[in-house]
Amino acid sequence: MERIHAARMAYVLFAWGIVVALLAQVSLIGLWLFSGQPTLAIHKEFGHLIFLMVFALLILAFVGRLPSPMQLATAVLSVITAFQTEVFALLPGSPLRAFHTVLPLVIFFLAAFLALSATSLVRVRVEQATFPLTAGESRAN
């Protein structure tokens, strides 16, 4: 059980880390687009890092034995992120690349949903583990 709980805790940390990383990623491309800062290369490399984080999240979903709907949603997040970071790069000039600006919204909200859902799973475990003291027990013992 401890391995499952540890995997779930890691899942929560990675999920929230992905949410924060997505915000940073959008900021990087915004700096490049709107203020001419040289952040495009960082944006590209950071996107690959986010993809690796999502892939790790997928592994943790199964190791942590998350509920099936969360495992499925994590798999969907992985596929969408793979398209976002890898497939669109292989389609230069394609009109499908227009989705490169839309998919981050889907990825962000799906990642935030998974982070919130996983957080509630971990909280339930912590609340179940704490037992109230009876009237005769002392905290000093």
Q: pLDDT, tens digit, for every residue of 77-114?
A: 999 999 898 887 787 888 888 888 899 999 999 999 99
Residue 133 is given by DSSP the state P
Higher-confidence residue of 36 and 1: namely: 36
Average pLDDT, the chain: 88
- Residue ranges of the domains in the chain? 2-126
What pLDDT does 132 receive? 56
Residues 116 and 16: beta-carbon distance below 8 Å = no
**DSSP letters spanning 18-60:** HHHHHHHHHHHHHHHHHH--S-HHHHHHHHHHHHHHHHHHHHH
What φ, ψ does residue 65 adopt, rounded to 5°? 50, 50
Which fold is adopted by the domain 2-126? Four Helix Bundle (Hemerythrin (Met), subunit A) (1.20.120)
